[in-house]
């Protein structure tokens, strides 16, 4: 029988409703990020670089595109004969069949999958965070401390601590208390939603949790507090580095801007820790005679004849002569015509912006596209949507297809 | 759709372009930034549904092997057949060393023999094109020719340019009536693209006959001598193509990718052109970057000025550097205030601060791999 030291499970079923039109047809982990990636490339690439070769991806909401994207796992070197990448949707069995009720229930429903690999440890990850992390180091610390569970934490600014799940720890890093979004935080160590459990402990608690009809079957709300109550050894693993939850349009836009700041807050060019992705197989990008590109990233298949500043341009994007794009994220295949101005916007996959259009330049009190999800004057154009020739889209708009 | 009745044979031939072929076969030369010359022929074969392809190599084949590996980018990592690198078989050669394409073909006779396909597309050259091979096979079968040779009418080209090709003289029905290999005074403008379609059994008998007689050249010894006995027909290709066999043609054909029509012809005509992926991050433009009319691959960092250039993956151009009309291969580093014009840099060339290197349009300055200046 195959026996794996550590199997990773990525929770990728969430809708990501705060991403508005970006997740209308795709799950949050499949949202494009950083010029040529999708959010799920980050945990998948981290797994491979950390020596973890067996990864279950739990999908539920709008799974088609995510399933196709992951495929047999070959872009991440996860097409393995003994292990590899597995897409795990909810399924029916003889006795029962139901949707994933919560994060803990999603893992519970796949205990049969884990059983097949006879793992010593299970790494639980979330499919909506941007970061580079060596899980192998965390696993080593987990084995050395002989903890029931090791939880990755990172220091956050004190004034923001009340937005996170906060871990209070003693001088050895042992977790003494867990508070979900505390009004008055006692520590600034936030849980990153990354757990390594001993498999037998995880199984025991998941089974007990499932028997409790009052439980909401969630790791943060149920499993972790119950383990603390029962006095299980729970240890924190401190992570210092870039980590970003891209759950809102604003934070997704910010995380993209972090890549083109000078110096970048997050560097994707590190060759020792490449982020792998399913390649679009396009030709190099062509920069025309009228183009001017500064403080930006551009990738394969683009045709750029306009001006780009402080922006992230994905594959296959076209930008016509006389157009200007500032502080924006232009997703794959978007076509922007001539003499267009785009300011602080997220333009979705294959969106079309007609000649002479103005996007995010001016404000208006009478804005039919105004959306609460587009805070801080951001504009979101949904994938496949069309902005007509000469049309003006005001700040704070969400234009749906 | 799969084309199970046809196999592909690609010969990595011996056209040398010093210094950039010192370390690799011609077909492994980087082109258009992220591609290799061989990507075009493999992608066209794969696009036609051919799933059994052999690449016969001669020497310097490690870079080809590294590029092709399991054939995955072309979806040719298959249980049955797939993409195979065929190293030279010294025992099968007429004199123990390779002295022509017949030697290379006879070295792969086992591979030919155990392949079950009826037809074979044989590629002897190193041209770039985007050919519909499925249509070529159909036409070959329909015409009942023994051999169909793909050609391009190079009308309008200089006579000296035509002398680089094998020239065909065609009858009104496109039957080949004369073949001249690299003639100094070409009689026609019909240039062979070094692509031949025939039944596998015919190829095997030609190889057997030629090697038994000590003949070494597929075109001169087999085709020319058998022209009257065999029905050899030409089939015209109308898209863009050129052969890459000299530094001048290498330079020109890279620069041609700055031309929108040629670029679209080569990339979007029929087949998608695939290549090995390197998972480089997107290219980063700094605040002093000035880039005009250039073809830029992923993984570059550009702070300086780049005009009319082809940049491969991972090239670094520092502030104040000015590069014009040049081809810069993978991972080369151009430091501050360097001036470059009409240069061809192999991989990992490093030009230190303030240096100036100027080539000419007709004679680009080529620097070999890993040189630091």
Q: Residue B12 sits in a domain of what CATH number? A: 3.90.550.10
Global pTM reads 0.93
Q: Which long-range contacts (CB under 8 A, 24 or more apart) does B250-253 make?
A: B250/B17, B250/B20, B250/B29, B250/B31, B250/B327, B250/B344, B251/B327, B251/B344, B251/B364, B253/B31, B253/B128
The verdict on B251 and B325 lying in the same domain is no
- Check whether residue B310 and residue B261 sit in a common domain: no
Chain B CB contacts of A281 under 8 Å are 73, 272, 274-275, 277
User: Does the residue B48 lie in any domain?
Assistant: yes
Residues B250, B312 within the same domain = no
Residues B51, B121 within the same domain: yes
The rounded distance, in Å, linking the Cα atoms of B357 and B328 is 13
A168 min Cα distance to partner chain B (Å): 38
| B31 lies in some domain | yes
Q: Establish if B198 belongs to a structural domain.
A: yes
Which long-range contacts does A171-174 make (Cβ < 8 Å, 24+ apart)?
A172/A235, A173/A235, A173/A236, A173/A237, A173/A238, A174/A233, A174/A234, A174/A235, A174/A236
B277 found inside a domain: no
Contacts of B260 in chain A (CB under 8 A): 286
**Could you say which of A269, A274, A287 has the minimum Cβ distance to residue B291?**
A287
Pair B299, B237 in one domain: no
| pLDDT bracket for residue A15 (50, 70, 90) | confident
From A277's Cα to the closest Cα of chain B, the distance in A is 7
In-domain check, residue B274: no
pLDDT, average across residues A217-221: 92
Domain end call among B236, B267, B298 = B267
Instruction: Specify the pLDDT at position A181.
Output: 86
Instruction: Give B150's strand partners.
Output: B235
The predicted structure's pLDDT at residue A103: 92
- Contact (CB, 8 A) for B85 and B65: yes
Chain A contact probe: residue of B130, B274, B284 with most A CBs at under 10 A? B284
B313 to chain A: closest CA residue: A284
Residues in CB range of A357: below 8 A, 6 or more apart? A337, A340, A341, A387, A388, A389, A390, A391, A392, A393
Structural domain count, chain B: 2
Nearest in space to B244 (alpha carbons), one of B126, B137, B83, B332: B126
Q: Are residues B165 and B299 in the same domain?
A: no
pLDDT at A262: 87
Cβ contact A297–B274 (<8 Å): no
* Inter-CA distances, A224 with A106, A184, A325, Å: 15, 20, 46
User: Lowest-pLDDT range, A302-311, A350-359, B100-109, B182-191?
Assistant: B100-109
* Domain termination site, one of B209, B234, B267: B267
Asked if B290 lies within 8 A of A292 by C-beta distance, the reply is yes
Q: B202 and B297, same structural domain?
A: no
- Distant-in-sequence contacts of B305-311, Cβ < 8 A, 24+ apart: B308/B255, B308/B258, B310/A284, B310/B32, B310/B33, B310/B254, B310/B255, B310/B257, B310/B258, B311/A284, B311/B33
Residue B212 falls inside a structural domain? yes
Residue B16 located in a structural domain: yes
Q: Does B286 touch chain A (CB under 8 A)?
A: yes
* Nearest residue in chain A measured CA to CA from B307: A289
In a domain, B278, yes or no: no
- Count Cβ atoms within 10 A of the Cβ of residue B104 and give its class: 0-12 exposed, 13-18 middle, 19 or more buried: buried
For residue B2, the model assigns a pLDDT of 79
B290 touching A (Cβ < 8 Å): yes
Strand partners, A386: A352
Asked if pLDDT for residue A282 goes beyond 70, the answer is: yes
Test the B interface: residue of A71, A74, A284 with most B CBs within 10 Å: A284
Contact yes or no for A262 and B286 at CB 8 A: yes
Q: Which residues pair with B149 in a beta bridge?
A: B196, B234
Residue A13: the pLDDT is 85
ipTM: 0.91
Residue B153: HSE in the Cβ half-sphere, 13 Å Cα cutoff: 7
| Mean pLDDT along residues A280-288 | 94
| Contact partners, residue B162, CB within 8 Å, separation at least 6 | B154, B186, B189, B191
Q: Give the pLDDT of residue B361.
A: 87
Based on the fold, state whether residues B309 and B262 are members of the same structural domain.
no
Neighbours of B192 (CB within 10 A): 25
Residues from chain B that touch A296, judged by Cβ atoms under 8 A, are: 284-285
Mean pLDDT, residues A75-92 taken together:
90
**Residue of A35, A274, A281 with shortest CB distance to B279:** A274
Average pLDDT over residues A29-35: 95
Check whether residue B253 and residue B314 sit in a common domain: no
Domain that holds residue B331: 284-367
- Per DSSP, A158 falls in state G
Run means of pLDDT, 10 residues per run, chain B, 373 residues: 90 85 90 96 96 88 88 90 85 65 90 95 95 96 96 92 94 95 94 96 94 89 89 96 94 96 91 92 96 97 97 97 97 97 96 95 92 92
Same domain, B74 and B187: yes
Residue B310: list chain A partners with CB under 8 A. Answer: 284
Give the CA angle between residues A259, A265, A266 to the nearest 5°: 60
pLDDT score for B76? 93
Query: Closest approach of chain A CAs to the CA of B76, in angstroms?
Result: 14
B297 shares a domain with B235: no
**Residue where a domain terminates, one of B267, B299, B324:** B267
Which residues of chain B make contact with A291, given a CB cutoff of 8 A? 291-292
B28 with B80, same domain: the answer is: yes
pLDDT in tens, A132-165: 999 999 999 999 999 999 999 999 999 888 888 9
Please report, for the domain that includes residue B319, its CATH number. 2.160.10.10
């Amino acid at each position: 029988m195959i026996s794996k030291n550590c199997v990773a499970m990525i929770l990728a079923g969430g809708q990501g409703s705060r991403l508005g039109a970006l997740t209308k047809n795709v799950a949050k982990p499949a949202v494009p990020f950083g010029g040529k990636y999708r959010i799920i490339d980050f945990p998948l690439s981290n797994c491979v670089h950390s020596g973890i070769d067996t990864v279950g991806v739990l999908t539920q909401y709008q799974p088609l595109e995510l399933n196709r994207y992951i495929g047999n796992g070959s872009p991440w070197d996860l097409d393995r004969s003994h292990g590899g990448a597995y897409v795990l949707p909810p399924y029916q069995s003889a006795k029962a069949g139901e949707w994933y009720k919560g994060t803990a229930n999603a893992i519970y429903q796949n205990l049969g999958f884990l059983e097949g690999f006879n793992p010593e440890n299970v790494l639980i990850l979330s499919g909506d965070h941007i970061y580079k992390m060596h899980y192998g180091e965390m696993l080593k610390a987990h084995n050395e401390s002989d903890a029931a569970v090791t939880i990755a934490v990172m220091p956050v600014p004190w004034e923001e601590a009340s937005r996170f799940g906060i871990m209070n720890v003693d001088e050895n890093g042992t977790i003494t208390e867990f508070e979900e979004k505390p009004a008055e935080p006692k520590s600034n160590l936030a849980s990153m939603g990354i757990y390594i459990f001993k498999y037998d402990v995880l199984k025991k608690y998941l089974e007990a949790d499932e028997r409790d009809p009052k439980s909401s079957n969630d790791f943060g709300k149920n499993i972790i507090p119950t383990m603390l109550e029962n006095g299980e050894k729970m240890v924190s693993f401190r992570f210092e580095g870039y980590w970003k939850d891209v759950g809102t349009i604003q934070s997704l836009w910010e995380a993209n801007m972090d890549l083109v700041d000078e110096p970048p807050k997050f560097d994707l060019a590190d060759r020792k820790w490449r982020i792998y992705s399913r390649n679009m197989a396009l030709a190099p990008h062509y920069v025309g005679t009228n183009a001017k590109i500064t403080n930006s990233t551009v990738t394969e298949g683009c045709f750029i004849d306009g001006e780009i500043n402080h922006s992230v341009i994905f594959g296959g994007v076209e930008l016509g002569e006389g157009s200007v794009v500032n502080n924006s994220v232009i997703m794959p295949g978007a076509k922007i015509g001539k003499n267009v101005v785009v300011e602080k916007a997220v333009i979705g996959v294959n969106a079309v912006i007609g000649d002479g259009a103005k996007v995010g330049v001016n404000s208006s009190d009478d804005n039919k596209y105004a959306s609460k999800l587009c805070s801080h004057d951001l504009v979101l154009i949904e994938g496949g949507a069309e902005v007509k020739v000469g049309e003006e889209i005001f700040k704070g708009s969400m234009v749906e297809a | 759709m799969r084309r199970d009745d046809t196999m592909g044979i690609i010969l990595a031939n011996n056209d040398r372009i010093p210094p950039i072929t010192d370390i690799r076969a011609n077909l492994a030369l980087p082109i258009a930034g992220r591609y290799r010359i061989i990507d075009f022929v493999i992608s066209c074969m794969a696009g036609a549904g051919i799933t059994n392809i052999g690449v016969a190599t001669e020497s310097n084949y490690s870079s080809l092997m590294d590029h092709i590996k399991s054939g995955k980018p072309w979806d040719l990592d298959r249980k049955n057949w797939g993409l195979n690198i065929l190293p030279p078989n010294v025992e099968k050669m007429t004199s123990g060393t390779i002295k022509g394409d017949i030697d290379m073909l006879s070295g792969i006779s086992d591979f030919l023999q155990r392949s079950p396909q009826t037809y074979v597309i044989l590629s002897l050259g190193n041209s770039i094109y985007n050919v519909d091979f499925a249509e070529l096979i159909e036409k070959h079968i329909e015409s009942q020719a023994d051999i169909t040779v793909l050609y391009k009418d190079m009308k309008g080209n200089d006579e000296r340019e035509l002398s680089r090709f094998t020239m065909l003289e065609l009858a009104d029905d496109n039957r080949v009536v004369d073949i001249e290999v690299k003639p100094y005074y070409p009689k026609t403008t019909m240039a062979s693209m070094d692509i031949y379609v025939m039944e596998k059994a015919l190829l095997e008998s030609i190889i057997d006959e030629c090697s038994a007689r000590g003949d070494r050249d597929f075109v001169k010894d087999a085709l020319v001598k058998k022209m009257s006995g065999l029905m050899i027909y030409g089939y015209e290709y109308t898209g863009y193509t050129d052969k890459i066999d000299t530094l001048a043609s290498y330079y020109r054909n890279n620069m041609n990718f700055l031309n929108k029509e040629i670029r679209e012809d080569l990339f979007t005509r029929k087949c998608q052109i695939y290549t090995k992926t390197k998972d480089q991050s997107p290219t980063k433009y700094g605040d002093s970057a000035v880039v005009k009319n250039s073809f830029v691959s992923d993984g570059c960092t550009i702070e300086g000025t780049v005009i009319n250039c082809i940049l491969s993956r991972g090239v670094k151009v520092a502030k104040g550097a000015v590069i014009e009309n040049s081809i810069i291969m993978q991972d080369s580093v151009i430091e501050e205030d360097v001036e470059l014009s009409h240069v061809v840099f192999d991989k990992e060339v490093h030009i230190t601060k303030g240096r100036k290197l100027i080539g000419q349009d007709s004679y680009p300055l080529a620097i070999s791999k890993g040189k630091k200046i």
